Structures are given as structure tokens and as C-alpha cells.
A and B are shown apart, each in its own frame.
Chain A
Amino acid sequence: MPTSTGSSRRVLEKGPSGWLAAPALVFFLLFAIIPLFGVLFLSFTKWDGLGEIRLDGLSSWTTVLTDPVTGNALWVTAKIMFFSFIVQAPISLLLGVFTSASQKYRAALAVLYFVPLLLSSAAVAIAYKALLDPNFGLGPGLGLPFLAQDWLGNSDLVLFVVVFVIAWQFVPFHTLIYQGGVRQIPASLYEAAQIDGAGRVQQFFAITLPQLKYTIITSSTLMVVGSLAYFDLVFVLTGGGPGYSTRLLPLHMYLTGFKANDMGAASALGVILVVIGLALALLLQRLGGKNRNASQLEGA
């Protein structure tokens, strides 16, 4: 073990050079942090994406904040975020607990569960577009008339279709997170509970759920902040329609910037997106109390 002679102590206390972190930092500053300020700057300009960028004061912000489509996009985003969370969180929690046991058949099921993890959102959206076709899709195929609706053309239904497809694609990922969380719970806790005569449901609420606290926070944060990035799936599946019924904020930003060629307004929407994401992440951290991320912040 290290002696306490002066020279070896000095050798031991010498940490690595901060330069080792420099390449990662440079990349990240260049393509994430600087653009973060860039989007704020561009929100005060007028730019069509090709020509000159002109400073234009608050006009983009006035446009964006008075446009009813912005409010609608926020509302759609909030709805999709809320419904995806209440659909995905319980399903992935229960599936995670279910698949964490060591029975063979559950392991086999779990293998198939994770296939959607491999698919791109574009592939999933295209598959569902075909599947939901009222004439050639699942509805007529299974002979269930109520499934043979114009799912993507009905502005009352389409939001729930989007929520369902999002769940289909992302529940497997969160199941995996919960599965890992459950496997780290010491078996002795369950053994003790069983000796005390606790049933399965009691064990779930008294042991599994509290022990999964940090897993729940991690998964929920990824779920909620992630729902601000559902761009690909919705873009290919519905294009934001019909009407504005699935035009959520990232999609609205894309269409404003790259289709309507108003980069200033799109940047203002980007700033709103950043602020919401940051606020949600901080809120979730607070709700979770002083968790590991906080301790990492201090102890780094």
C-alpha cells in the first residue's frame, strides 16, 4: 500500500490532465452549446434559410407568441407527453418486473419484446401507416370492423394512435431499464417479506416499488424529456395532421423553419423547446429529491 513519504504522495495526488476531456468538450461546445446560444440569437433575426441573416428584433417572437398554431402545438405536445407517460410508465414497470424473474419462458418472451428497440422510427411509422389502412390493414384482416377505421384521418382518434405507436416503440426500452433495476434489488428483502407472510402484491408495493425509486426517476425523465423529441415518428406517420391535430412542437419548429422558410420563428420555437425540456428535467430531479445525479454534480 502507498507509503506516506512525500514524493509518492505527490505522485498519487496528481490527477490526470484536464486536457483529456478537451476533445469531447470541444465537440460538445461546437455542436451543442454554441448552437444553443445560436438558436437564441437566430430567434431575433429574419432568415429564410438561404439568404442573408438580418437582425429583426422581437418580430419572430411576436409572430410565434401570437400565432394560435404555437399554442396548439404546445397543447398537442402536452397531451402526447401526458398520455404517453401514463400509458408507458405502468406497462414498462410491470413488464420490467415480470421479465426480471428467471423463468425460461419469461426470458423467451423478453427476447421478442425488445425487437422494436431495433427499428427506426421511420420504419415503425411506415409499418403502422400500412397496418392502419382501413382497407388493407389490420382491421379488415382480423375481421374486426371497429379496427377498420380511418385512424390517421380522424382528428379525434389520431392523437391516441400516435400515443399507441410511441408506446409500441419505446416501452421495450423502458422495460429494459426496469428489468435492470429489479435485478439489483437484493433477494434477501423478498425472502424476509415471505417469512413475514407478505403476498405478491404486498411485496410489489412494499419492496419493489420503493427500491425502484431511482429507476423510476431515470425512466420518467427519459420518457418525458424524450417526448419532446418524437419528431421522426410523427413526421412520417401523420406529418402533423390531419389539420394541426398532431403537430407537436418539434414538428412545428421543423415545418416553420424548413417548409415555411421562416428560420427566425422556428428558432423562437426551438428556444421554447429548450426551456420546456430544461424545466421538466429540473422538476423531475426535484421530485426525486437529492438523487444520484445531484451527488454526481457535487462529487465530480
Chain B
Amino acid sequence: MASTTQIPAPPARRTAPSNRQGRKHGVGAKRTKGPGRLRPNYLGGLGGWLWLAIIIVPIYYVVVTSLKNQAGFFTSNPMMPPTEPTLDNYKLVLDNDFAMYFANSLIVTVGSVVPALLVSFMAAYAIVRGKGRFLTWTNNTFLLGLAIPLHATIIPIYWMITKAHLYDTLLALILPSIAFAIPISVLILSNFMRDVPNELFESMRLDGCSDWAMMWRLALPMTRPAVVTVGIYNALGVWNGFLFPLILTQSPSTRVLPLSLWTFQGEFSVNIPAVLASVVLATLPLLVIYVVARRQLLSGLTAGFSK
């Protein structure tokens, strides 16, 4: 890693000096010009707060209800906080193998995101740096994957997974998840890699570097924001995935979190607060990550998709 630090920063779009966000870091106290100078945007502000209410009310309801006991749920006003808040619902959910479902989700997510990143990165490097009909064709195939609702292929995948005796294993979820993550990953990574100046590759090549070395010592450090973006985006998708687990697994020992919410709902259909506690518990890990890594996460996603 140390050898890569001398490489000058790429002219990434994210740091384009002319954008309005960038100006914030300019002359400290000076009021920014641009649209901000106009009359306050009352209509925009109103819409903004209204949308906030739309976002917050359901979340508030879920959290408040998850803290009520059965009696409180049936008797109190649904929007009022519980008079005697209780964590019993959380205890009930945690006693019901929640930790195992969590571990399964973690295994499937890490097990698909890391390989997907690795193969997509290598493919993006080859597509951006290489030439020839094979690579053009490969890239077009991936682009095609973006346009097709790949879930339509679930029946043959089910057949393949069954034939390979992988049905009801975590590997059954990991393999197709890797494949489905590839098109968008290659697209975003190759978009970023095109911005790495060619001269840098050329001078490394003249120094006798192999492609393997250039990939890890030049391309990877230069596209790190994109790698993070792609990683987060795929991780969210796999962590929250529902269709593959529904079709490719069956037993509780291979159950992942989203599916466990659904089965909790069936098991505790009369105990709505417990069901909602499971919703909160399943979301909590992501919320913690969001609070910690929000800036990176949002700027990564923004840059990844508006490029």
C-alpha cells in the first residue's frame, strides 16, 4: 500500500471544484452565492418537511409498538408511546434463533459481496485497459444484464441448484447472488477506472509492471471510492434479499433475516408487537452502520450512480 501513496489523485468528478457542495469548503464565513442567495424556498421547505413526516411516522409507529405488551397494544392509542415500555418482545425474538438467522445473513452477504467485488474488479480492469472483440462482447453481455429483470430466471436457477445438490444450503444463495451483482458492479467500476490517467498505467508498464501488479497497486487505490460504493450497494441488496432465500432454502437452519421476518409474522400473527420487534432488530445492524459510515455510504452511492 505504501508504494501507492505517491500517485497523484485522479481528476475525479466528485471533487470538481465548480460544484456547489465544494464551495462550502471555500472562504469560510462568506455566504454561498448561487440559488441559496434567493428568497428562502418556502415551498421546497414545506415539501421537504412533509416528506420527512411520511418517512418518520411509520418508523415511529414500528418502534413504539414494538415496546408495548399485548394488553397495551390492544388498549392504548396506536400512536402513543407505551405507558409501561417493555423489552419482552425483543427477548422473545432473540430467543427464537434470531442470532442464527443473523449469522446466516452475514455469511451469505460477505460470501457473495467479496467474490463479486473481486471478479467484477478484474473484469472492469480488463474491459477498460484491454482491447479486442472478446472483451467488447463480455462488456455488452454485462450491460444486457442491467436491462433484464434477472429474477425471471429463478426457475432454471432453482433447477440447477437442485441438480447440484445445493438446495437448502447457504451456497445456494451465494452463487446466484454473486452473478446478479456483477453487471452493476462492472459498470460502476469501469466508469471510475476510465478516469485513471493512461499515463500512469503507461509509466508503470514501462517500469515492467505486470497487469496483476498494476491492478492492485494503481487501479485499486485509484478507484477505492467506487469499490466501496459497489460493495455497500451489493451488500444492501444481498442482506435484504428475499426471493432467493424463499425459493432456494427451506429449513430454519438456512434461514436468513428477511425470510425470518416473514416466518415470524406467520408464527406470531396475533402478537404484532413481537413481529415489529423483529423488524426493528433486523434493521438495527444496518442503522448502526449507517450512523457510523453515513458520509462515506451516501457520497459513494451518489457518485456511483450519477456518473
Contacts and interface: CB of A to CB of B under 8 A. Distances in A.
Q: Does chain A bind chain B? A: yes
Interface of A: 1-2, 8, 11-12, 14-21, 23-25, 27-36, 38-39, 41-42, 49, 53, 91, 94-95, 97-103, 106, 109-123, 126-131, 133, 136-138, 140-142, 168, 171-172, 176-181, 183-188, 190-191, 194, 199-200, 203, 215, 218, 221, 225, 228-229, 231-232, 235-236, 250, 253-254, 257-258, 263, 266-267, 270-271, 273-274, 277-278, 281-282, 293, 296-297, 300
A235 B136 CA distance: 38
A219 to B, nearest CB: 8
Contacts, number: 359
Interface string B238-281: 01111100110000000001110110010000001001100100
A25 B290 contact: no
B241 to A, nearest CB: 8
B74 A136 contact: yes
A27 B119 contact: yes
Contacts of B146: 281
A274 B152 contact: yes
B52 A112 contact: yes
B179 A200 contact: no
A291 B148 CA distance: 19
Which among A98, A123, A270, A277 has the greatest number of chain B C-beta atoms within 10 A? Answer: A123
B177 to A, nearest CB: 9
A173 to B, nearest CB: 8
Contact of B19 (A113, A115, A184): A184
Given A24-B122, A28-B183, A229-B151, A17 B130 contact: yes
Given A12-B206, A98-B48, A184-B13, 12 more contacts: A21-B126, A28-B142, A41-B156, A42-B159, A98-B47, A120-B241, A130-B62, A138-B57, A186-B19, A229-B149, A231-B151, A297-B143
B35 A119 contact: no
Nearest to B128: A300
A12 B148 contact: no
Contact of A119 (B129, B130, B153, B283): B283
A168 B20 contact: no
Contacts of A172: 55
A103 B38 CA distance: 13
A120 B239 contact: yes
Interface in B44-60: 44, 47-49, 51-52, 54-59
